[in-house]
Amino acid sequence: MLTNTSRKIFLSIFLVALAALAPLQTAAADFKREVIYQIITDRFFDGSTSNNNPSQSSGLYDSTKTNWRAYWGGDLAGIQQKMSYLAGLGVTAIWISPPVDNLNTNIPDGNGNPTAPYHGYQGRDFKRVEEHFGNTSNTWTDFDNLVTAAHSNGIKVIIDFAPNHTTQDNAGEFGAFYDNGTFVGNYTNDTNGYFHHNGNISNWDDRYQVQYYALFDLSDLNQEHATVDGYLKAAAQLFQQHGVDGFRIDAVKHVTWGWEYSLANSIYTNGDSFLFGEWYQGNTSDPLYHDSYKFANRSGISLLDFPLNAAIRNVFASNANFSDIDTVISTEGNNFTWKEDLVTFIDNHDMSRFLSANNNQNRLHEALAFILTARGIPCIYYGTEQYLHNDTSGGTDPYNRPMMNSFSTSTTAYTLTSRLSTLRRSNPAVPYGSMSQRWINSDVYIYERKFYGSVVLVAINKNETTAYNITGLNTSLPAGTYSDYLTALLGGSSITVSSGTGGNNPVTAFSLPAHTVAVWQFTESSATPQVGSIGPTAAQPGVKVTIGGRNFGATQGSGSVKFGTTTATIVSWSDTQIVATTPSVSNGSYNVTVTKNGGAVSNGIQFTALTAKLIPVTFTVYNASPTQVGDYIFLTGNTVELGNWATTWDGAVGPMLAPNYPNWFINASVPAGQTIQFKFIKIASNGSVTWEAGANHTYTVPTTGTGFVNVNWQY
């Protein structure tokens, strides 16, 4: 018999040994080296039959899997059981359906068939786990087991988090929501104002409507209410306590934008995380495209790359010219500060699967190789590696969510993903490098990723029958012969590079066969510290920040991290990742640098030091300066959160919203407990700026909850 103490000692030795065996767990705030896999939990694998038809929501399960809008049995235990399959695929993060307790009642469709929130987007209790995914008592056991299994396989866990709404507002449970089992409120008898009651969005380009109207009859939460604000932030933090590494934020375009900055800040203040949001848009000419990149550049929430997704589908599925992709890459490259954090994808649960759009596996392989090597963090929709698709009604929702029907580890797509995931970890040009086009025609795209001296050159020929002779190609790869990193998996062969000048080394002419992808790479051996990533990109003093890159040295020694000229306290240090605490610097923009033991200093990377933790405050200005179509009122003020008196579209806070013209309002996240100074300005369509007169307004931001401030425009 072991005594209690010896049992504890034995256990801790065992745990230390386990930790040594487990893959290195890197910080989530440096996500660029990850490969994400998107799972619709209900449709992946049924790991436990005990939760298939729980009593509190019985009748929503279809064992025949013929009602596409019912639960089919997939669950968290099922994902856990497939962890080694995922690890072998090269997946290093899973994004799972919203796991929170969802609507229990059946809302029949037009033909009287049951419909169920098998997708997870009708949350009723954000602090409990859905009974179809976990257990019939809605506890955390299965969720915790999944997270533990994922982490011990080197896989991070991202949950889909939907703060925009609860359940449907006109049927079922009428938006009722609960705080760990205690009723909070509902949509129909909303005496506390927890919801917006403005009807459904009809104009998807109207900034007020998209944020303050309902998304398809879903009860639209009012995040400016302190109870709702506190509830959602506490729920996100609860998931962090349960080990979650990141959040895919549902419908970010439809949640109050300013409030989301404070959501991100509360998550980052609580712990290491990576956040990306769903901002649906068809292309970079979308009327709200500018709002989308301003949001990504300032909120700390990266975005799913919808414009690139559309171009990928145009080019690979619909055979458009490669210039479609090249144009999006360069446009977004100019607009997004953190473009390498954009999450790229071929398809998802809201559009037809690639093979439904074009049942051509060569093209799917080409698209897959593209997202795995282009800039951005690749996200693969479950089943892509098994060529899963159902083409009913064109294969759109719900037919894009079939049950996973095969777990083969020998498909070409499986091997391809695994191989390129390895490259992302070994060559820093993939996660951190610039992306430039080196050779293009309608069928061929040759692009280069480059991070200091490390280079990856990728050539794709999407033509099904024609080989192209590639002449006049230049690269930054050093002179030498390079074999295809994919070892001819997609038809590639080797190239020879000779010395040129100015980073343009000529590649000996070669033939690129039909439907081929080739990857050539060089990882420089250098001792200089090179910084490629920082996350979060904005935080107040005291919050941990992760710096990713290489050659930092295995140990800190005399090394340091500086924010401008101020040295930060180090939390952890490895050759490729450092965690430091944001020092007490005044608010503003800083270059963060790594000095390695021995004195070599890295490049600087941009970071915003916030003044304090963020509180969402709704600013209203009555009777503002007269405006004409195209003119907008903005908010500006004396801290970095308020733009430091900036007077530009990108620098100031806004544009503000005017549902009750000429009164304008905006919700903005501002530093807790600070007395801020601010003013309103008009930015006319031609860019000219009109300040309101008089002294600056002042306001003391509350230290918790939400705030409201109303003033008259000063003439």
Contacts of 517 (CB under 8 A, 6+ apart): 365, 366, 369, 458, 459, 460, 461, 486, 490, 491, 492
CB of 514 to ligand NOJ, least distance (A): 36
**What residues between 618 and 647 interact with ligand NOJ by CB under 6 A?**
645
Cβ distance to ligand NOJ smaller for residue 135 or 611: 611
User: Which position among 162, 310, 312, 374 is part of the footprint of ligand NOJ (CB under 6 A)?
Assistant: 162
How far apart CA 37 and CA 29 sit, in angstroms, is 18
User: Which position among 77, 251, 470, 614 is part of the footprint of ligand NOJ (CB under 6 A)?
Assistant: 251
User: Which position among 121, 187, 370, 485 is part of the footprint of ligand NOJ (CB under 6 A)?
Assistant: 121
User: Which position among 124, 349, 550, 613 is part of the footprint of ligand NOJ (CB under 6 A)?
Assistant: 349
How far apart CA 226 and CA 238 sit, in angstroms, is 18
Of 519, 475, 523, nearest to 366 by C-alpha is 519
Instruction: Check: CB of residue 65 under 8 Å from CB of residue 72.
Output: yes
- Residue 550 lies near ligand NOJ (rule: CB under 6 A): no
How far apart CA 316 and CA 691 sit, in angstroms, is 50
Q: Is 417 helix (H, G, I), strand (E, B) or coil?
A: helix
Tokens of 220: 């639209």
Question: E strands within 501-645?
Answer: 505-506, 510-512, 516-522, 530-535, 538-539, 544-550, 560-563, 566-567, 569-573, 577-581, 588-595, 605-609, 614-622, 632-637
Cβ distance to ligand NOJ smaller for residue 172 or 559: 172
**What residues between 270 and 289 interact with ligand NOJ by CB under 6 A?**
278
Question: Which residue sits closest to ligand NOJ, CB atoms considered?
Answer: 121
CB of 164 to ligand NOJ, least distance (A): 7
CB of 160 to ligand NOJ, least distance (A): 8
Q: Is 203 helix (H, G, I), strand (E, B) or coil?
A: coil
User: Which position among 250, 260, 332, 385 is part of the footprint of ligand NOJ (CB under 6 A)?
Assistant: 250
* Beta-carbon count within 10 A of 422 CB: 13
CB of 162 to ligand NOJ, least distance (A): 5
How far apart CA 308 and CA 243 sit, in angstroms, is 31
**Encoded amino acid at 609, one letter:** A
Q: Is 142 helix (H, G, I), strand (E, B) or coil?
A: helix
CB of 701 to ligand NOJ, least distance (A): 18
Cβ distance to ligand NOJ smaller for residue 601 or 684: 684
Name the active-site residue from 75, 125, 278, 484: 278
CB of 251 to ligand NOJ, least distance (A): 4
Instruction: Check: CB of residue 561 under 8 Å from CB of residue 567.
Output: yes
Cβ distance to ligand NOJ smaller for residue 33 or 679: 679
CB of 399 to ligand NOJ, least distance (A): 14
Name the active-site residue from 34, 220, 250, 448: 250
Active-site annotation holds for 278: yes
**What residues between 295 and 324 interact with ligand NOJ by CB under 6 A?**
none
Cβ distance to ligand NOJ smaller for residue 251 or 578: 251
Cβ distance to ligand NOJ smaller for residue 147 or 162: 162
Active-site annotation holds for 250: yes
Tokens of 435: 């992306």
Of 78, 208, 58, nearest to 145 by C-alpha is 78
Size of the site for ligand NOJ (CB under 6 A): 13
CB of 485 to ligand NOJ, least distance (A): 34
Cβ distance to ligand NOJ smaller for residue 280 or 649: 280
Element (H, E) at 658: strand 657-660
Q: What angle do CA 569, 573, 575 make, to 5 degrees?
A: 145
How far apart CA 474 and CA 495 sit, in angstroms, is 12
CB of 335 to ligand NOJ, least distance (A): 23
Cβ distance to ligand NOJ smaller for residue 298 or 349: 349
Contacts of 660 (CB under 8 A, 6+ apart): none
Rg (CA), the chain: 26
Cβ distance to ligand NOJ smaller for residue 309 or 582: 309
Which residues are 475's β-sheet partners? Answer: 505
CB of 218 to ligand NOJ, least distance (A): 6
User: Which position among 691, 702, 708, 711 is part of the footprint of ligand NOJ (CB under 6 A)?
Assistant: 691
Contacts of 11 (CB under 8 A, 6+ apart): none
Contacts of 538 (CB under 8 A, 6+ apart): 265, 298, 300, 607, 608, 609, 610
Cβ distance to ligand NOJ smaller for residue 42 or 326: 42
Q: Is 703 helix (H, G, I), strand (E, B) or coil?
A: coil
How far apart CA 357 and CA 350 sit, in angstroms, is 13
User: Which position among 350, 554, 698, 710 is part of the footprint of ligand NOJ (CB under 6 A)?
Assistant: 350
**What residues between 472 and 531 interact with ligand NOJ by CB under 6 A?**
none
How far apart CA 298 and CA 633 sit, in angstroms, is 19
Write the interaction track for ligand NOJ spanning residues 660-679; mark x where CB under 6 A is met and - where it is not. Answer: -------------------x
How far apart CA 576 and CA 530 sit, in angstroms, is 9
Contacts of 286 (CB under 8 A, 6+ apart): 205, 292, 307
User: Which position among 696, 711, 712, 714 is part of the footprint of ligand NOJ (CB under 6 A)?
Assistant: 696
Catalytic residues: 250, 278
Contact residues toward ligand NOJ (CB under 6 A) are 119, 121, 162, 215, 250-251, 278, 349-350, 645, 679, 691, 696
